[in-house]
């Protein structure tokens, strides 16, 4: 087990097998200064292509391509005024932009083959990775995902065709289908064992090769769901037994042998339950791993930097982070993070908000109006679904019709939520009855 990120064990294994002169670290490396130094001392150039927060001092890579530090081709002191257009890109988006820059440069210099090299067929993978990485669907990401979802709909990749089949994705593909059906299956093997099977699926040349791999990932995903459900129930129960809403600003919970492949998902579920920044930690031996998720107003990566004396390593960004820790330091970490959060968060920020975009009359909710709202897609992180409120409609019958099938629902007293368009459109109307 080489661990996560640009680990020393990983690069040593790499150099033993391959006589490389250039190493490209994707989605990692921004805090791996010692490992980058070790590689450079052995004559290996290192390009770090990452979107997580950068250590101080940053790694002495040949090039650091990371929107969190402005631009990787400038000295750190000059990065503060860099263009912010790409700050929301995740690593798959950065990889696409780097490839685009190389093709563009190749065309300018007359590089053989560059003129005819078309990057657009890669956009299905860019959309898949961007949605699955839960980055904001704004700016450049919005353009990449919009175009990528269109290509994903009719992708010729045998691996993705097979994956859609096992996930029973038959209709239009939107953010929901990627985030909740395709992405989890593609990630399942890597969470529990090794991501090699997922890579092989994406590289498959025909359906005969892709079919068994997709079915294996379906099996992995079902196992992942069972493990995740068990740990989440245990974690939520443990937190609920001792949770104090007045004093607990951050949740840190860990247990021996909790599977580190699902602790990030569990952290998200605990956060939804208690609306607190949450770190879930598991593992065995002398070094455990943790994964954290945060709420607006609390920069988790910055908070972990304030706790680095308690950690073996850490990295991430404001809303999500990872760490390694010796189990004896869990209580100290919990105490330190709560101290930091009490200085940062207000009581109001610890209450989940219901965001409503507009109040409308029931007569305004025509099919044409709702279809206009679809133009706001893709919705997701950073661009949430539209939520409208309709008041004083107790007893009213709401109706919708899709594919010739009419569905009705009588609005009961109290507040309820009803999705007036298919799930893939993500348009929600919140109706307050009474």
Maximum mean pLDDT: which of 1-10, 50-59, 237-246: 237-246
Asked if 340 and 306 count as a contact pair (C-beta separation under 8 A), the reply is yes
Q: How confident is the model at residue 70, as a pLDDT?
A: 53
Q: What are phi and psi of 59, to 5 degrees?
A: -65, 145
* 288: phi then psi, degrees, rounded to nearest 5: -100, 160
Q: In the 8-state DSSP scheme, what is residue 48?
A: E
User: Before 291, cis peptide (omega within 30)?
Assistant: no
**Pairwise CA distance, residues 37 & 8, whole Å:** 11
Q: Retrieve residue 67's tokens.
A: 């929107």
Distance in angstroms (rounded) separating the CA atoms of residues 325 and 415 = 44
Residue where the block lists tokens 């740990």: 231
* pLDDT surpasses 80 at 421: no
Q: Where does the pLDDT of residue 77 fall: very low under 50, low under 70, confident under 90, or very high at 90 and above?
A: very low
Helix, strand, or coil here: 254?
strand
Q: 24 forms bridges with which residues in the sheet?
A: 47
Tell me the sheet residues that pair with 252: 279
267, 254 Cβ separation under 8 angstroms: no
Our measurement of the distance from residue 95's CA atom to the centroid of its chain's CA atoms, rounded to an integer in Å, reads 16
> If DSSP codes are grouped into helix, strand and coil, which group holds residue 244?
coil
* Residue pLDDT, tens place only, 246-260: 999 999 999 999 999
Residue 394: band (very low, low, confident or very high) from pLDDT cuts 50, 70, 90:
low
Q: Looking at residue 403, what is its pLDDT?
A: 38
Cα distances (Å, whole numbers) of residue 296 to 275, 319, 350, 351: 10, 8, 9, 11
Q: Please count the helices (runs of H) and the strands (runs of E) in the chain.
A: 14, 14
Q: Report which secondary-structure segment, H or E, holds 25.
A: strand 22-26
User: At residue 82, does pLDDT exceed 70?
Assistant: no
Task: Measure the CA–CA gap between 408 and 397, rounded to whole angstroms.
Answer: 6
Strands 287-293 and 320-325: antiparallel
Sorted by sequence, the CB contacts under 8 Å of residue 420 that are 6+ apart come out as 365, 370, 398, 400, 427, 428, 429
Cβ atoms of 158 and 210 within 8 Å: the answer is yes
Chain segment 93-115, per-residue pLDDT in tens: 999 999 999 999 999 999 999 99
Average pLDDT taken over every residue of the chain: 88
First-last CA distance in the chain: 58
Give me the domains of the chain, ranges plus CATH numbers.
157-230 (no CATH), 243-350 (3.10.310.30), 358-433 (no CATH)
């Amino acid at each position: 087990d080489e661990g996560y990120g640009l680990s020393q064990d990983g690069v040593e294994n790499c150099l033993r097998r391959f006589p490389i002169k250039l190493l490209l670290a994707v989605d990692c490396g921004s805090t791996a200064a010692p490992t980058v130094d070790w590689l450079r001392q052995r004559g290996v150039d290192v390009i770090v292509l990452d979107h997580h927060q950068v250590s101080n001092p940053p790694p002495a890579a040949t090039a650091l391509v990371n929107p969190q530090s402005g631009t990787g081709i400038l000295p750190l002191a000059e990065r503060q005024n860099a263009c912010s257009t790409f700050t929301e890109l995740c690593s798959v988006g950065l990889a696409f932009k780097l490839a685009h820059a190389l093709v563009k440069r190749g065309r300018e210099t007359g590089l053989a083959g560059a003129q005819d090299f078309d990057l657009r067929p890669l956009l299905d993978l860019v959309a898949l990775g961007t949605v699955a990485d839960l980055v904001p669907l704004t700016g450049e990401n919005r353009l990449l995902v919009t175009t990528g979802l269109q290509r994903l709909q009719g992708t010729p990749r045998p691996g993705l065709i097979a994956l859609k089949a096992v996930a029973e994705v038959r209709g239009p593909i939107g953010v929901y289908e990627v985030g909740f059906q395709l992405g989890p299956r593609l990630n399942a093997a890597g969470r529990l064992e090794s991501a090699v099977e997922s890579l092989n699926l994406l590289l498959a040349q025909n359906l005969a090769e892709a079919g068994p791999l997709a079915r294996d990932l379906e099996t992995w995903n079902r196992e992942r769901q069972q493990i995740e459900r068990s740990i989440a129930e245990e974690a939520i129960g443990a937190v609920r037994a001792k949770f104090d809403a007045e004093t607990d600003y951050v949740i840190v919970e860990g247990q021996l042998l909790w599977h580190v492949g699902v602790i990030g998902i569990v952290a998200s579920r605990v956060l939804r339950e208690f609306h607190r920044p949450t770190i879930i930690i598991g593992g065995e031996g002398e070094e455990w791993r943790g994964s954290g998720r945060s709420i607006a107003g609390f920069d988790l990566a910055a908070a972990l930097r304030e706790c680095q004396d308690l950690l073996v390593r850490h990295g991430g960004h404001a809303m999500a982070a990872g760490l390694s820790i010796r189990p004896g330091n869990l209580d100290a970490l919990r105490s330190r993070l709560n101290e930091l959060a009490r200085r940062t968060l207000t009581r109001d920020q610890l209450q989940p908000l219901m965001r409503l975009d507009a109040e409308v009359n029931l007569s305004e909710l025509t099919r044409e109006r709702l279809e206009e709202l679809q133009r706001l897609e893709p919705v997701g992180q950073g661009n949430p679904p539209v939520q409208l409120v309709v008041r004083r409609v107790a007893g009213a019958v709401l109706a919708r019709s899709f594919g010739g099938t009419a569905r009705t629902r009588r609005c009961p007293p109290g507040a309820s939520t009803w999705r007036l368009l298919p799930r893939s459109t993500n348009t929600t109307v919140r109706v307050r009855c009474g």
